[in-house]
Chain A
Amino acid sequence: MVNGSAAAADGTPGPVVRVPVSLRVNGAERRIEVDTRTSLLDALRDALGLTGTKKGCDQGQCGACTVHLDGKRVLSCLTLAASADGRDVRTIEGLERDDGAPHPMQEAFARHDALQCGYCTPGQIMSAVALIEEGRAGSDDEVREFMSGNLCRCGAYPHIVDAIRDVATGGRRA
């Protein structure tokens, strides 16, 4: 049983409780110490300097903070860093190949102009990569439904569908 320090006093702000967290992030072991309240999102951005993952709402309602946790797409804003201890995390920074070449999904997003302001884009791409792995890019409607957890206020949705279908069909979608 892992135990993170003493309980805070009743009602009033207790002392800050910090816990060690070990994560495998984009293939590398990272050890940090975090406030128990720290989200995985804030830990990635502030403690590890991986600012590609974005905070859009901090309430699980926009998808901007999507990362892969143990291979599944999740929302890092509602994941406590402490609870992610020992797990494997993949972020947008881990998508490029070792030689720096972009992932096919990143290329497809650029080619189809599936982004505008770009803020939701890392979350969209992480979600899109997972979508293909989940086998849910079989039709435009399926992509629309299973990409609906990622809001885009610039309205790039139709181009996001194009980009994903392009990758899913091996580039047959011009």
Chain B
Amino acid sequence: MRSFAYVRAGTVEEAVAAAAADPEAAYLAGGTTQVDLMRDEVFRPARLVDITRLPLRGVERRDDGGGVLVVGALTTMEELAAHGDVTTRLPLVREALLRGASPQLRHMATVGGNLLQRTRCRYYRDPSTACNKRAPGTGCAALDGHHRMHAVLGTSPHCIATHPSDLAVALLALDAAVRVHGPDGERAVPLGEFYRTPGSTPHVENALTHGELITHLEIPLLPPEARSGYLKVRDRASYEFALASVAAALVVDEDGRIRSARLALGGVGTVPWRVPRAEELLRGARPDDDVLRAAAEAALSGAEGRPDNAFKIGLGRRAVVRMLGALARGEEPDGAARGEGR
């Protein structure tokens, strides 16, 4: 690890000024991504700006529209998962949080940092290999390497790395936004416009510019009658990233028709993957098998597999059908996957 200067900021303005002044500065919050990648020599900042003492921790409810949770970016994953409104009104967020990482990591990792976590691609994390995301122009060793965990949606010939966040998938489905404080002031960015597919610039992952700091998340609440959940498919029963995941919310009218649908996928895309086309197919329809399968087809539309990960396309479809069907029927989506019955 490169030797670095350490600065602890007391205010947001102080933090942004310290980071903006040094092109080799980076923020340190929970550290679960930042320190990990510094140890792997992927990040080599000359200066760390410690933001852990900034007053950006906690959840407030704003009652405009259907209600919005304004979440301080330094709120930990565990803290957000335990919040009353998240438990009652946003099961998909709670489940996405609690199925991520481990309890220890969830006590450390902040929700702001969670949205910025980097891919688990082992080529990205090994500086001895070619990786356009880590070192632009060097190529992508994953294309012909081991890529079972890699993305099938939003890929490019330059990068097939999967975005690892569970939380971002749930938030994307909810039309959440981030509030950002930068050298030029504040702005809000809807999550749908935040992430960048790799294209020819895989190193550009999101809309942030150097020195910008996520200060808050804005998460609209679901209507009380909505059913929502997060299904995560993985090899290990816990403490693993998704092979495929589905965040979904449905409001089903009394006549059995879907009034509104929200659907996003994780584990299969280079970015958290929202599927407006599938949501349209569901809206106004009855959730029978044909409709769910059509939505699943739409959700994985355009997916491209490679030898090790092509199975994710079918798996993603099955996960969509399972999640939507369970919500429509009011069931748990993953009994066996969670070790039911022992």
Chain A residues with a Cβ under 8 A of chain B:
1-11, 13-17, 19, 35-37, 39, 58-60, 63, 66, 69, 72-75, 78-80, 82-83, 85, 127, 130-131, 134, 136, 141, 144-146, 148-150
Cβ contact within 8 Å between A4 and B31: no
Min CB gap B35→A, angstroms: 5
Q: List 29 A-B contacts (CB under 8 A).
A: A1-B7, A2-B8, A2-B50, A8-B46, A10-B24, A10-B46, A11-B44, A16-B3, A17-B3, A17-B6, A19-B6, A36-B4, A36-B48, A37-B4, A39-B35, A58-B39, A59-B39, A60-B36, A63-B104, A69-B107, A73-B103, A75-B105, A79-B35, A79-B108, A82-B8, A82-B50, A130-B103, A141-B338, A144-B339
Cβ contact within 8 Å between B5 and A36: yes
Q: Cβ of A83: which chain B residues have Cβ within 8 Å of it?
A: 8, 28, 31, 50, 52
Most A-side CB within 10 Å, residue of B8, B10, B104:
B104
Interface set, chain B 45-61, CB cutoff 8 A to A = 46-48, 50, 52
Q: Cβ of A16: which chain B residues have Cβ within 8 Å of it?
A: 3
**Bound-complex Cα distance A15 to B3 (A):** 7
With A14-B3, A36-B5, A58-B39 as contacts: A131 and B103 at CB distance below 8 Å: yes
Min CB gap A130→B, angstroms: 8
Cβ contact within 8 Å between B46 and A63: no
Q: Cβ of B36: which chain A residues have Cβ within 8 Å of it?
A: 59-60, 78
Cβ contact within 8 Å between B339 and A141: yes
**Bound-complex Cα distance A66 to B105 (A):** 10
B22 nearest in chain A by CB position:
A7
With A10-B46, A72-B107, A149-B239 as contacts: A63 and B102 at CB distance below 8 Å: yes
**Bound-complex Cα distance A13 to B4 (A):** 9
B236 nearest in chain A by CB position:
A148
With A59-B36, A73-B107, A146-B103 as contacts: A82 and B238 at CB distance below 8 Å: no
A8 in complex: contacting residue of B3, B40, B103, B237, CB < 8 Å? B3
With A8-B46, A17-B6 as contacts: A80 and B103 at CB distance below 8 Å: no
B108 in complex: contacting residue of A14, A75, A148, CB < 8 Å? A75
Cβ contact within 8 Å between B28 and A80: yes
Cβ contact within 8 Å between A37 and B102: no
Q: Cβ of A130: which chain B residues have Cβ within 8 Å of it?
A: 103
Cβ contact within 8 Å between A17 and B35: no
Interface set, chain B 1-25, CB cutoff 8 A to A = 1-10, 14, 18, 22, 24
A-B contacts besides A7-B22, A36-B3, 17 pairs, CB < 8 Å: A2-B8, A3-B6, A3-B7, A7-B47, A8-B5, A8-B46, A14-B46, A37-B4, A59-B36, A59-B39, A69-B107, A73-B107, A74-B104, A83-B31, A127-B103, A130-B103, A149-B105
Q: Cβ of A69: which chain B residues have Cβ within 8 Å of it?
A: 107
Query: How many interface residues does chain B have, given as a range?
Result: 35 or more
Cβ contact within 8 Å between A1 and B8: yes
With A78-B36, A83-B50 as contacts: A4 and B5 at CB distance below 8 Å: yes
Cβ contact within 8 Å between A82 and B6: yes
Cβ contact within 8 Å between B239 and A148: yes
Q: Cβ of B5: which chain A residues have Cβ within 8 Å of it?
A: 3-8, 17, 36
Min CB gap A86→B, angstroms: 9
**Bound-complex Cα distance A83 to B9 (A):** 11
Min CB gap B167→A, angstroms: 17
**Bound-complex Cα distance A25 to B64 (A):** 45
Q: Cβ of A145: which chain B residues have Cβ within 8 Å of it?
A: 237-238
Cβ contact within 8 Å between B31 and A79: yes
**Bound-complex Cα distance A9 to B124 (A):** 25
Q: Cβ of B52: which chain A residues have Cβ within 8 Å of it?
A: 83
**Bound-complex Cα distance A60 to B109 (A):** 11
Q: Cβ of B107: which chain A residues have Cβ within 8 Å of it?
A: 69, 72-74
B238 in complex: contacting residue of A7, A19, A148, CB < 8 Å? A148
B119 interfacial by beta-carbon distance below 8 Å: no
Min CB gap A170→B, angstroms: 23
Q: Cβ of B105: which chain A residues have Cβ within 8 Å of it?
A: 60, 75, 78, 149
A34 nearest in chain B by CB position:
B6
Interface set, chain B 156-212, CB cutoff 8 A to A = none
Interface set, chain B 114-134, CB cutoff 8 A to A = none
**Bound-complex Cα distance A29 to B18 (A):** 30
Most A-side CB within 10 Å, residue of B2, B6, B105, B239:
B6
Q: Cβ of B7: which chain A residues have Cβ within 8 Å of it?
A: 1-4
